[in-house]
Structure 1
Amino acid sequence: MNSEQDSKIELMWGNEILDDGFSILPNMLIRYARKLGLTYGEIHLINVISTYKHDNRDPYPSQEAIAEHMDITTRQVRKMIESIEEKGLVMVGQRTAEGKFKSNVYNFQPLIEKCLELQKKNRKDNEENEEIRWKKKENTVGTKPSYGQKVPSEPFGSEPSERFGSLPSEQKVPTKITKEKNNIKDKEEEVEGKENPNPFQFYEQNGFGMLGSYLVEKINYWLDCDFFDEPEAMVVEAMKISIENNVKSWKYAETILNDWSSKRVRNVNDVKAFIARHKEHKSRKNPAYNYKSKPQQRKEKLPRWMTDPKQASSDNQTNSEELQRQKEKYEENLRLLKERKEQRKLSSGT
């Protein structure tokens, strides 16, 4: 790198922050990382490993060093590396010395090839769909009517049909209401077209607060885990439910995500079905939520002697007999106890 490039980097970032070194990442990697299936955590891991690449040799930082830089555990580092390896974007080797393992070596040539393939495909698609339209402009500057030629009063003809061409019979001028409906429809289509919503932008734009490193790590955990088929959409959906319940708190949204993961709710469609089942169960459990259910009437429970006098009298007779038997048993036990006391006194006196 020449001195001119060095000076540009110094102007962009300043000398103090560059004293510890800097890394150069290709634009393709930054732009196509998500399209290649990399999660936010995996992109961060590749960035950290690239800080150890100083020349054409492959970088070989230890998993402990990577974990320290990313502020995660070595187990999470191993899991991310295995995921990138399964996607065919990295080759992992082992560095040994005197037969002893020292660290892994990472070669990102497969990632570079994938980026180049994607770039070629995008260029080809753009060229096939590309169409150039040139504006046709009549050169009327400097032309003068010849002698005896009649100059029209309107520049493009006196009649609207002559100026703008014939209008279709069914064509209507759009009103204000029609424009508003079209704008709403366009916004809905724009929202539906967003396949991967950004949880971090949604967090900050909807009043949850400022994003710190701790919260970024928390959100990245749910984006990198295997609980959901659409992790970004699920995290945003949990925050939407938090807003609907007037609780703009990440702790509340994380509780929802924990509940979904434990009940195997994998995507947004599963969430809608889960909420519908919950409402149905709630309406069955408490009929007050079901508008079709009849209002409950209070029933007073009457004593048995009012509903069945014969049964009440037989119950009283049975209770008196049982009471008499218990009384006789108690008197017999009392008599035996007195006899035992007298026998003890006689035996102690002798």
Structure 2
Amino acid sequence: MKSGCQVVDQIGELEIVGNIVPHLWYKNITFSSGKAHFVAIALLADIVYWYRPTMMRDDSGMIKGARTKFKGDMLQKSYQAFADTYGFTKRQVKDAIDFLVDHHLLVREFRTISSSSIILSNVMYVQPIAENVKRVMNERCNVSELVSICPPDTSERTTSSPSKEGLSHQGEGAPAVEEGTYTESTSKNPSENNEQQQQSAGECPLTFFKDNEFGRLGSYIQEKIKTWCESLSESLVVEAMKRAVEQGKHYWSYVDAILVKWEQLNVRDVKDARAKELQIMFEKVYKRNVQSGGRKPVRTEKLPEWFTEDEAAEEDCDAEFEVEKAKLMAELEEYRERGIGVVN
């Protein structure tokens, strides 16, 4: 069926998939000032997409069932994974997730995943609250009017997860896991994911700080580490502490100086840090070779005028003295010849 507009017909032939943002969200999901919270809207649309069922069809094309797009009872995705997908900063993502949780549009849980070889702590899981998402989609209902709705129980939540009170307390202060999502949204194969899980499990900044005896881990240092993890990443904080250990400098000020330098260089990850440091080292060596390639000029020093004037004056005095001496000797010799006034 044709609409009569060629462009409309062409767009109608496109198979558009992915996130869908209802128009009312821009009026309902807002800050207290009334402006739309674009980061929260984008993240909620992404999460809702993952919770939309995938239809299963038979050979004839008929729908025979539905399945989830992810494995497990909830979607697992980290702050960093959201930031990498949409180009937001990690801080923006965390603030937006906090906003959605505080306004009863999202449930967030931090879990510990264990297997025979590794243990992953503080792995973030998210789940939309369907009833409240429906309200902000279908009516003029601002997020400030939403009320808390208990999420449905799942096998993970009822058996292996802590209680509701423990989850809410843990979720507020738990650090973000740095690796990407372990759901179907990842583009890496299972072996690469396993390497990432092993790496993240052994590189917790707080654990590394304690194990390598950097000193007492007080609340101030914990806050500094948390701030740097949010500004850069956990892997970069651990890498900076490794550099300090290799140099035998087990104190936080040295680590902080490394992180400040990386922040100035806009370092993204450990690989980027090493690449930029190698580039800086190469530039220094090249500059040194260029400067030492030419012949150094012979240094000549110009004597001050007063130095030459004094020397010339001394030479004049010596010449006058010799003249006077010669004159006196001639007179003395003359007196001797005459024998006058000379005492032998």
Shorter-chain TM-score bucket reads 0.3 to 0.5
TM-score between both structures, scaled by the size of structure 1:
0.34
Higher relative contact order structure (alpha carbons within 8 Å, sequence separation ≥ 6): 2
More helix by share: 1
More strand by share: 2
